[in-house]
Chain A
């Protein structure tokens, strides 16, 4: 039972353009959502998060949008840079300080 789904295994974007990574969830009890970035052979790095009481959160080039009615969130990276090439994981939590449920990840390739 995949509660968090990232349906695009990979995405290729030209440098300078926008990257949009998508994530869907099924559990209506989830109230906090996170994005992580992972390079090969390294641990994931926390990128940005959003609470269910908000619909948008920005941090520099990264913006996360949440559509609760659709149970959908997306990560926008503008402008995309070659160093953004990595695996991006979406994660969700319904309990403070407890478990995160991760999606399968999306491989982003930014071409220069």
Chain B
């Protein structure tokens, strides 16, 4: 069966510091991968998606970037965090069907 992992689970970072969040999927090959953010009291905002290694599409211009160095690995990064980057970050995958399956999420607090 397929499993999706995200780490860390929680993170507190000062403004201006770098960020690296990692997502890995097990049990499937060539998944589509997605990064979402849920700000406090808000819905899910799609940040990036990838249909293959090295292929990244950005949905929202912002302080973040994404990379896909391996087939089942998706990384969300920032060089300098802003207060507005705080939120709950979710990684999701799909094998090509409509349903996306989400990881447990990372709670990021920028102080």
Residues of A that sit less than 8 Å from B by CB: 6, 32, 34, 36, 41-46, 49, 89, 93, 96-105
Contacts and interface: CB of A to CB of B under 8 A. Distances in A.
B12 interface: no
Interface of B: 6, 32, 34, 42-46, 49, 59, 88, 90, 92, 94-105, 107
A34 B49 CA distance: 19
Contacts of A103: 43
Contacts of B42: 104
Given A96-B98, A97-B32, A97-B98, A43 B104 contact: yes
A27 to B, nearest CB: 15
Contact of B96 (A6, A41, A97, A102): A97
A97 B101 CA distance: 12
Give the most central of B44, B94, B95: most A CB within 10 Å. Answer: B44
A98 B51 CA distance: 8
B56 to A, nearest CB: 13
27 contacts: A6-B43, A34-B98, A34-B99, A41-B107, A43-B92, A43-B104, A43-B105, A44-B44, A44-B102, A45-B102, A46-B99, A46-B100, A89-B44, A96-B97, A97-B32, A97-B96, A97-B97, A98-B32, A99-B34, A99-B59, A100-B46, A100-B100, A101-B46, A102-B44, A102-B45, A104-B43, A105-B43
Contacts of B6: 43
Please report whether the interface of chain A is mostly helix, strand, loop or mixed according to DSSP: loop
A99 B92 CA distance: 11
A28 B88 CA distance: 30
A16 B104 CA distance: 30
Contacts of B98: 32, 34, 49, 93, 96-97, 100
Contacts of A46: 99-101
A3 to B, nearest CB: 12
B59 to A, nearest CB: 8
A93 B6 CA distance: 25
